[in-house]
Amino acid sequence: MKAWLAEFVGTFWLVLGGCGSAVLAAAFPEVGIGLTGVSLAFGLTVLTMAYAIGHVSGCHLNPAVSIGLWAGGRFEAGKLPGYIVSQVLGAIAAGGVLYLIASGKAGFDVTAGFASNGFGEHSPGKYSLLAALVCEVVMTALFLVVILGATDSRAPAGFAPIAIGLCLTLIHLISIPVTNTSVNPARSTGVAVFVGDWAVAQLWLFWVAPIAGAVLGAVVYKVIGSKD
């Protein structure tokens, strides 16, 4: 139960911090933080929570990460349902808080995006479904390689949160124009449910691609990280 609560809180922070920076601060007049700031915000949420709750739950904050860790032999299958439900609920709770804050500004329109992930007409750069699929699979795969490598018993102790947080920052720097960057089904769900319509209709991709990428990343790390 403590691990589930930790995953709820951690994922809440990821969505509130990351998506909140995109919705509230990215284009704020004259002092907006832009795509670089949003990318850094997502990385900082993971870095800070990894130190805060890593010793409680492992700080997955992401159904794809939990599944990838299972595929990599680092997590028990029986724990997956509880973790995934906690992550999704935390993300939706954060989306709700963000909605309450953002709607306090005159002219707020949730259908304008609300940091939702999308492809085609709903991609920031109008990238195709295929481009979005490839991007999400590859980015999540490399994310898992970094996570598995940084938390390997042979890696320098205590630095994993930094490597993982910076990796997520880099992923966002690369892929925000393509899909608004998911690599996390919970993060995508947490805001999509408030947008509805197209965001929910396209949500399937942001479950399928990150999970496929996470499993692929686990397989890759098993090959390159083998102790044989």
pLDDT digits (tens, 9 = 90+) for 43-65: 999 999 999 999 999 999 999 99
* Structure-model confidence comparison of residues 92 and 158, the more confident one: 92
Query: What confidence score (pLDDT) does residue 227 get?
Result: 75
* Rounded distance between C-alpha atoms, residue 134 and residue 114, angstroms: 23
Q: Is the pLDDT of residue 13 over 70?
A: yes
Q: Where are the alpha helices (DSSP H) in 123-184?
A: 129-150, 160-179
Alpha-carbon dihedral sign for residues 12, 14, 17, 22: negative
Per-residue pLDDT at 163: 96
CA gyration radius, the chain: 17
Q: Which residue has the higher pLDDT, 147 or 158?
A: 147
Tens digits of residue pLDDT in 64-83: 999 999 999 999 999 999 99
How long a stretch of residues is the chain?
228
Q: What are the CA-CA distances from residue 75 to residues 8, 17, 105, 122, 139 (Å)?
A: 18, 26, 43, 35, 21
Residue corresponding to tokens 């090959």:
223
State the pLDDT at residue 112: 80
Cα(185)–Cα(195) distance, integer angstroms? 15
The backbone torsions φ and ψ at residue 206, rounded to the nearest 5 degrees and listed phi first, read -90, 10
How many Cβ atoms sit within 10 Å of the Cβ of residue 35?
16
Q: Kindly tell me if the per-residue pLDDT of 32 is higher than 80.
A: no
Q: Could you read off the pLDDT of 100-130 as tens digits, one per residue?
A: 999 998 888 888 879 999 999 999 999 999 9
For residue 51, how many C-alpha atoms fall within 13 Å in the half-sphere facing its CB?
11
* Fold classification of 1-225 (topology level): Glycerol uptake facilitator protein (1.20.1080)
pLDDT at 12 over 90: yes
Pairwise pLDDT comparison (106 vs 209), residue with the higher score: 209
Distance CA 35, CA 44 (A): 14
Q: Nearest Cα to 97, choosing from 172, 13, 3? A: 13
pLDDT score at 29: 59
Who contacts 163 (Cβ-Cβ below 8 Å, separation ≥6)?
146, 149, 150
pLDDT, averaged across the chain: 93
pTM (2 d.p.): 0.93
In this predicted structure, the answer to whether residue 31 has a pLDDT above a threshold of 60 is no
pLDDT at 28 over 80: no
